[in-house]
Amino acid sequence: MTTLVVTGTDTGIGKTVFAAALTGALGARYWKPVQAGLDDDGGSDSLRVAHLAELTAERVHPEAYRLNTPCSPHRAAELDGVAIDPACLELPTGEGPLVIEGAGGVLVPLTRQCLYADQFARWGAPVVLVARTALGTINHTLLSLEALRTRGVPVRGVVFIGEANADSEATIAAIGKAKRLGRLPFLPDLTPAALAAAFAAAFDVEDFR
């Protein structure tokens, strides 16, 4: 069974949209272990992915923790009076591949003792790192790759989001010794069909199996 973790170099860079595209392309199940920010609009990344990837209910695993404040999970949990226990974040079982989505960046705290990168190391599943193509991406992406590898986390490669920036993308792949998996452009009309078509045009699904 293929299990992949989708994480990012920062928040708000399109990680959830890519996770939806990947889940749909693989015919996978989806899991967001910790959802913070429900106070924003009452929605969740799981609902958004289910819509964009056209997933049936049984292919979306419920979050282990649902938190209200839009901030780092460790703080959102404290504000909600909840204690996140990383040991309880066991991979859900089921048929077929599994796509797991982290929150924000690689070093976002789950608790005051455990970062997401530490949890990725416990799972041992390969990580797909999602990065912007905008200014600052080289530094952020190389730091994220270094943080993952320091913990022994296997990296499948880097996915870019945004307008093409061939030099930055090539520089990250070369210096970071990471495979450039492809680039997902901004989609003016973000529908399930448009997202599936954009993924098929920009990526080789076999790179993720």
For each of the domains in the chain, give its residue range(s) and CATH number, in order of start. 3-208 (3.40.50.300)
CA–CA distances in Å: residue 130 to residues 6, 162, 167, 190: 7, 11, 17, 18
pLDDT digits (tens, 9 = 90+) for 45-58: 999 999 999 999 99
Active site residue 15: no
Alpha helices in 7-136, H assignment, sequence order: 15-26, 45-52, 73-80, 116-123
Beta strands (DSSP E) in 93-203 are: 98-105, 127-132, 155-161, 180-184
- Read off the tokens for 61: 């695993």
Enclosing H/E stretch for 202: helix 192-202
Over residues 16-30, the mean pLDDT reads 98
pTM comes to: 0.96
| pLDDT at residue 20, rounded to an integer | 98
Round the average pLDDT of the chain to a whole number and report it.
Answer: 96
Pairwise CA distance, residues 142 & 51, whole Å: 32
Alpha helices in 34-135, H assignment, sequence order: 45-52, 73-80, 116-123
| pLDDT at residue 42, rounded to an integer | 59
pLDDT digits (tens, 9 = 90+) for 60-99: 999 999 999 999 999 999 999 999 999 999 999 999 999 9
pLDDT digits (tens, 9 = 90+) for 152-198: 999 999 999 999 999 999 999 999 999 999 999 999 999 999 999 99
Enclosing H/E stretch for 42: none
Pairwise CA distance, residues 79 & 99, whole Å: 28
| pLDDT at residue 123, rounded to an integer | 97
Q: In 3-state terms, the chain is what percent helix, strand and coil (to 5)?
A: 40, 20, 40
Give residues with Cβ within 8 angstroms of 174, minimum separation 6.
none
